[in-house]
Structure 1
Amino acid sequence: MTTIAEKTKDLVRVDKRDGKLALAHIYVAFIALAIGGLCGLLQTLVRSGTFTLPWGIGYYQILTIHGVLLGLILTTYFIFGFQIAVVSRTSGTLTDKQRLLGWIGFWTMTIGTTASSIMILLNEASVLYTFYAPLQAHWIFYAGLALVIVGTWIGGAGLISKYVEWRKANPGQPSPLLTFMVVVNLAMWIICSLGVAVEVLFQLLPWSLGWVDKVDVLLSRTLFWYFGHPLVYFWLLPAYMVWYAIIPKIIGGKIFSDSLARLSFMLFLLFSIPVGFHHQLTEPGISSFWKFLQVVLTLMVVIPSLLTAFSMFATFEIRGRALGGKGVLGWFKELPWGDARFFAPFVGMVAFIPAGAGGIINASHQMNQLIHNTIWVTGHFHLTVATTVLLTFFGAAYWLIPHLTGRVFTKQMNRLAIIQTIVWAFGMSIMSGAMHIVGLFGAPRRSDFSTYGGSAQATEWIPYQIAQAVGGTILFIGIVLILYIVANLIWFAPKGETEFPVAEVSEHAEKTPMALENWKIWLTICIALILFAYTVPVIEIIQNAPPGSIGYKLW
């Protein structure tokens, strides 16, 4: 009997039906980039003090659109489109039922996205992408967010089903690496999004409908950040998928170690969720012991991050020396710097070095006091998701979209993509750099110029606010360029075959232990860490909740 592994061994193209589903997600992602990017440009102009929004549009209105569409919608849709294509390519064509789940999930997400976006545009939900209480939005905004989350669960169920199907057909064999990585990311997403689902369904939605008069703000924030920090790794792990399993193929090399890649993903699963309190270090009502514990767990993610850095640069060096690179760094110049599919993700990797350093400061118990709630945090955020993650996603789009549309990434588009990457990196260096510097001077995040304009301290901040506007303008040019490239790859590029690059594991790598796919072990450890980190402090929050707050009533 032919196994699924044998059937997919020579698979080159993603099935057109699966490709259509993946492309639907990617289309929405880039529409969100266009709208959210424009709002980002307007934000920087307003903060510079040189621009006033027309037609009564509010600053926090465009801030919310920017955050929701780029931080939540762009990332989630592109990730699901990418993951659908990855699973179809490495584990075989989705079944009709699995594909149906994907479409149901897509339309559920899209209905929710549309509903929430309309409320923001009507200025009924200017509550930022974190939608903290006591800021209150229209109930349709919260209902829309709930639909987005439920839609991801439905679509994710189809992909997990494919993984289970492969494992049953191939007992005793490690699953395809990319499919395994997708399932780890989905497991993390489902576990962490339970927190924000509880917050929305049992606190914010009843509160906005007027069913209750009060909401426990501390419990609300705790539930959000139980979700909010793993959200960062939900963005980051698909970028790691590209780095580990696709970039080696693009540069002509092989995966350094399958085992190391799987181990790093499992460690991210364990240490990305029970760490939300490091976003709440200045908040009363949470014991310093539990804050410190979660700071320690937060810093544990340094381990899989360093494993990834070691693996990637080992891959680069091995390939560079195979191409003739000599000396300590001679291999470096042999890498394919003229290939945007490599260049864009590599620039994203480089950006992750200062981003990671900034993350250590953000999570540190004492250093956080200096930069907490300043625009330093916004600068850090733009180095991680808006540079490391997005540049990797752009690099993936340069082969993924033409593969799915049956077109070719031409030399002309490749040159333009190289320019786009340079423009993006340059603009982000100016904007994020200015945010980091003025953040150290105490400039607040989430504030427009009118909030603090006129004071002596604000006057000192003006040059940095103008620098942010300059950087934001350059970044918007980068958005226009990537949208032009994507439109070309969808509709105008020459017809042809584009490879879906999946690297092979090096013949020198150790055999992958099956223990890395023993989900009973890893999920048990994950849940134990979550319960250990959250059970006592959440009980204390509920016990001390104000009488009549919904957090109190729930229990």
Structure 2
Amino acid sequence: MKKDLLKVNRKDAKLAMAHLYVAFTALALGGLAGLLQVLVRSGRFTLPAGIGYYQVLTVHGVLLGLVLTTFFIIGFQHAAVSRTSGTYSNKSRFLGWIGFWVMLIGTVMSALMILLNEATVLYTFYAPLQAHWIFYLGLVFVVVGSWIGGSAMIIEYIKWRKNHPGQPSPLLTFMVIINTVLWIVATLGVAGTVIFQLLPWSLGFVERVDVLVSRTLFWYFGHPLVYFWLLPAYMAWYVIIPKIIGGKIFSDSLARLSFILFLLFSIPVGFHHQLVEPGIDAFWKFLQVVLTFMVVIPSLMTAFSLFATFEMHGRSKGSKGVFGWFRKLPWGDARFTVPFIGMVAFIPAGAGGIINASNQMNQVIHNTIWVTGHFHLTLATSVVLTFFGIAYWLVPHLTGRILTKAMNKLAIVQAIVWAVGMSIMSGAMHAVGLLGAPRRSSYSTYGDASQALEWIPYQIAQAVGGTILFIGIFLILYIFINLAFFAPKGEQEFPVGETVEAAEKTPMVLENWKIWMTVLVALILVAYSVPFIDMIQNAPPASKGYRLW
């Protein structure tokens, strides 16, 4: 491998770090909002200065669910492409910076409206809740900025393919492109509802909006958003972790195929978030539930590949027995241990996802805080802990510093604190959700007295878990600042695994974009065209807007 591919170019590193600075700032502010939220829900704390509960809820959801994730992922992906496909051209780097600044301007616009209590519309900003038009315009900027940044990655991928005809692209670059394409296709839905419905509505150009169309376009985006979060974690699990443990990737072909399947089966499935809504025929809901469960296939492929890698590494170190490899893993290395905790958390998270997507079981937990607990296991544990694990080597690599032994130990402590806090908080959410506790309420004004009394222990448990999590946020911010500015100067590896020698040659059909994009478009048209026609032809009277404050 060429020497210039072993390290991210300094100019590209600055671009990636700019995204990470915004991401961790969002973590700090969104984490504080989350702490206030669980304290209010406990019934023993009142927000000061007239701040509303739903205002805090919106800040928490938008900053952590959208800003933290999008900026971290794009920053990581810029670094990954630069590391594996070569230094960015000036054009690509310029596009990356344009995308960053457009996203940042949009973030500031939307955040300002939330803080001014002009956009208390929650993370999902469902109509008929209405926000200030600047909030919606800010969202447009964030999405368009992400497209511009993504185009830089696609340009570099195309350049690599032209320079290496007949060869499969670097695996990590290929995964980045899959996730970028997924994001662009998925955000067409949210861009459509914001530009053509919510923005004109908030400006007063139209008096009403079609709520069902708006929600359908949101969830066309909302479910693949989960995979946009998850696939960068899978990149680390597939490509980075094998190198860290001293092993090799089990199969390049299997990894590429699993990512293609995630692309195909993550987008045309939004109806499983709308199972209780009228206006959508049961057949189309059933079809999308079936497509949702197809995602189990690449998930199981991923689990098989990971544990095959672990076992092969253990056998090479002399392990014996069914689980002997487990003792050979580098448990003292935060770069491995922290993401591994995220992997383990994905087991109950995936089981909860099956319940959420199941037509009849969904009736039990729909719009209860069970869904929030599931959300915190998937995004806030599996994904976020993996992001932290990535940061522990990526940040010092990009800043020319090293992960010291002290920071490594603190990182493991941080992950344990996070896992304990999340187990308590998410466990309480799942449990009280089964008792019917509502998803987005503070509980203080919801339900009868007997319900409120029954929920009190779970509310307190959520506050305890949320407080422990806030300690975990403080620790990760301390580590991030240390690695970015104060850690000793040095060379920190950007680990990229190699495939085992015995693996089958990667077939080039896996990079035939004409085939996969045709299949993707066909699946989307099958899943959405007829239902959309029905929604428009049989549309009820459109809704006027209202606000939560």
How far is the alpha carbon of 1:547 from its aligned partner? 5.4
Q: 1:534 corresponds to which letter in structure 2?
A: Y
How far is the alpha carbon of 1:213 from its aligned partner? 0.6
Show CA shifts across 1:334-391 (max 9, x none).
Answer: 1000000000100000000000000000000100000000000000000000000000
Is residue 530 from structure 1 mapped to residue 524 from structure 2 by the alignment? yes
- CA distance in 2: counterparts of 1:436 and 1:529, whole angstroms: 33
Q: 2:272 corresponds to which letter in structure 1?
A: H
Secondary structure (helix, strand or coil) at the match of 1:208 reads helix
Query: In the alignment, which residue of structure 2 is the partner of 1:408?
Result: 402
Query: In the alignment, which residue of structure 1 is the partner of 2:492?
Result: 498
Query: In the alignment, which residue of structure 1 is the partner of 2:353?
Result: 359
- CA distance in 1: counterparts of 2:468 and 2:542, whole angstroms: 50
List, as ranges, runs of 4+ consecutive aligned residues in structure 1 with deviation greater than 3 Å: 546-550
Q: 1:492 corresponds to which letter in structure 2?
A: F
Query: In the alignment, which residue of structure 1 is the partner of 2:445?
Result: 451
Q: Superposed, which structure 2 residues align to 1:318-467 within 5 Å?
A: 318-452=312-446, 455-467=449-461
- CA distance in 2: counterparts of 1:192 and 1:421, whole angstroms: 31
How far is the alpha carbon of 1:166 from its aligned partner? 0.4
- CA distance in 2: counterparts of 1:239 and 1:549, whole angstroms: 39
Secondary structure (helix, strand or coil) at the match of 1:324 reads coil
Query: In the alignment, which residue of structure 1 is the partner of 2:278?
Result: 284
- CA distance in 1: counterparts of 2:371 and 2:456, whole angstroms: 18
Query: In the alignment, which residue of structure 2 is the partner of 1:553?
Result: none
* The one of 448, 468, 471 aligned to 2:465: 471
* The one of 67, 72, 87 aligned to 2:81: 87
* The one of 273, 294, 298 aligned to 2:292: 298
Is residue 488 from structure 1 mapped to residue 482 from structure 2 by the alignment? yes
Q: 1:11 corresponds to which letter in structure 2?
A: L
Question: Percent of aligned positions with the same letter in both sequences?
Answer: 76
Query: In the alignment, which residue of structure 1 is the partner of 2:304?
Result: 310
Secondary structure (helix, strand or coil) at the match of 1:90 reads helix
Moved more, 179-188 or 323-332: 323-332
Query: In the alignment, which residue of structure 1 is the partner of 2:199?
Result: 205
TM-score, normalised on structure 1?
A: 0.97
- CA distance in 2: counterparts of 1:515 and 1:9, whole angstroms: 29
Q: Superposed, which structure 2 residues align to 1:71-220 within 5 Å?
A: 71-220=65-214
Query: In the alignment, which residue of structure 2 is the partner of 1:49?
Result: 43
Compared CA separation, residues 483 and 493, structure 1 to 2 (3 A): same
- CA distance in 2: counterparts of 1:11 and 1:193, whole angstroms: 32
Q: 1:449 corresponds to which letter in structure 2?
A: Y
Show CA shifts across 1:506-539 (max 9, x none).
Answer: 1011100000000000000000000000000011
Moved more, 452-461 or 186-195: 452-461
How far is the alpha carbon of 1:13 from its aligned partner? 1.4
- CA distance in 2: counterparts of 1:64 and 1:122, whole angstroms: 12
Query: In the alignment, which residue of structure 1 is the partner of 2:266?
Result: 272
Secondary structure (helix, strand or coil) at the match of 1:449 reads coil
Is residue 544 from structure 1 mapped to residue 542 from structure 2 by the alignment? no
Q: 2:303 corresponds to which letter in structure 1?
A: A
Unaligned regions of 5+ residues in structure 1, if any?
1-5, 551-555
Compared CA separation, residues 288 and 9, structure 1 to 2 (3 A): farther
Compared CA separation, residues 404 and 236, structure 1 to 2 (3 A): same
How far is the alpha carbon of 1:449 from its aligned partner? 2.8
Moved more, 309-318 or 454-463: 454-463
CA contact (8 A) 1:111 1:144 kept: yes
Moved more, 351-360 or 454-463: 454-463
Show CA shifts across 1:133-188 (max 9, x none).
Answer: 01000000000000000000001001000000000111100000000000000111
How far is the alpha carbon of 1:11 from its aligned partner? 2.4
How far is the alpha carbon of 1:117 from its aligned partner? 0.2
Query: In the alignment, which residue of structure 2 is the partner of 1:32?
Result: 26
- CA distance in 2: counterparts of 1:50 and 1:456, whole angstroms: 18
- CA distance in 2: counterparts of 1:542 and 1:103, whole angstroms: 40
Query: In the alignment, which residue of structure 1 is the partner of 2:501?
Result: 507
How far is the alpha carbon of 1:107 from its aligned partner? 0.3
- CA distance in 2: counterparts of 1:333 and 1:50, whole angstroms: 45
CA contact (8 A) 1:46 1:449 kept: no
CA contact (8 A) 1:244 1:255 kept: yes
* The one of 223, 234, 239 aligned to 1:229: 223
Show CA shifts across 1:187-238 (max 9, x none).
Answer: 1100010000000000000000011110000000000000000000000000
- CA distance in 1: counterparts of 2:146 and 2:537, whole angstroms: 33
CA contact (8 A) 2:271 2:285 kept: yes
- CA distance in 1: counterparts of 2:6 and 2:527, whole angstroms: 45
Show CA shifts across 1:88-132 (max 9, x none).
Answer: 000000000000000000000000000000000000000011000
- CA distance in 2: counterparts of 1:182 and 1:238, whole angstroms: 8
Show CA shifts across 1:285-329 (max 9, x none).
Answer: 000000000000000000000000000000011111211212111
CA contact (8 A) 2:211 2:542 kept: no
Show CA shifts across 1:392-447 (max 9, x none).
Answer: 00000000000000001000000000000000000000000000000000000110
- CA distance in 2: counterparts of 1:398 and 1:38, whole angstroms: 22
Secondary structure (helix, strand or coil) at the match of 1:325 reads coil
CA contact (8 A) 1:434 1:467 kept: yes
- CA distance in 2: counterparts of 1:283 and 1:259, whole angstroms: 40
Q: CA RMSD in A?
A: 1.0
Q: 1:357 corresponds to which letter in structure 2?
A: A
How far is the alpha carbon of 1:453 from its aligned partner? 6.6
- CA distance in 2: counterparts of 1:450 and 1:486, whole angstroms: 37
CA contact (8 A) 1:453 1:459 kept: no
Secondary structure (helix, strand or coil) at the match of 1:290 reads helix
Secondary structure (helix, strand or coil) at the match of 1:367 reads helix
- CA distance in 1: counterparts of 2:228 and 2:315, whole angstroms: 34
- CA distance in 2: counterparts of 1:30 and 1:406, whole angstroms: 19
Give the number of aligned pairs. 544
Show CA shifts across 1:41-79 (max 9, x none).
Answer: 111000000100000000000100000000000000000
- CA distance in 2: counterparts of 1:189 and 1:346, whole angstroms: 25
- CA distance in 2: counterparts of 1:70 and 1:503, whole angstroms: 30
CA contact (8 A) 2:219 2:270 kept: yes
* The one of 233, 236, 239 aligned to 1:239: 233
CA contact (8 A) 1:111 1:147 kept: yes
- CA distance in 2: counterparts of 1:319 and 1:172, whole angstroms: 31
TM-score, normalised on structure 2?
A: 0.98
